[in-house]
Structure 1
């Protein structure tokens, strides 16, 4: 299998509506993680643009694989080495990324 993207349904779930995410977290008495919320926002943006969003998991996880893009979303800059074709987005970079015409 190697580094090839396998297009199948995985058990990673993201909520398209942040209200549902916040409500469920409150109901379960769980703390919302900033990185998860940021990841959901980017996923939803790309889902609306491409119609499908996948993720990759092998020795490392790539949050979003879609339309030739590989994106990892972090609340803070990661020190972990990702392949060169993976775009790392931190909290401050996401607004500009969402505004760019891709």
Structure 2
């Protein structure tokens, strides 16, 4: 009897944390600068007062997406050891995306 290898890819949502500093004359000024960015992704902000620090994925916040939340497209795919997709949880064949 043989052993056969497979792997699974899952689409998830999760939070990431980016640390940064803002150069300002006071905390209040720094906070006003941050607020002026209107909660945009800090990694896309271009501002000479901004210094990027480390970034980390918050793995304990990871949640599986379901096809209903992904326009019917698969959120779980099973592959054989050659990397060929053998099944997905797509809601219908029109939403099955092969990686050929």
Q: TM-score by structure 1 length? A: 0.26
Q: RCO greater where, 1 or 2, for CA within 8 Å and sep 6 or more?
A: 2
Q: Give TM-score scaled by structure 2 length.
A: 0.26
Give the structure with the larger strand fraction. Answer: 2
User: Which entry has the higher C-alpha Rg, 1 or 2?
Assistant: 2
Answer 1 or 2: which has greater helix percent.
1
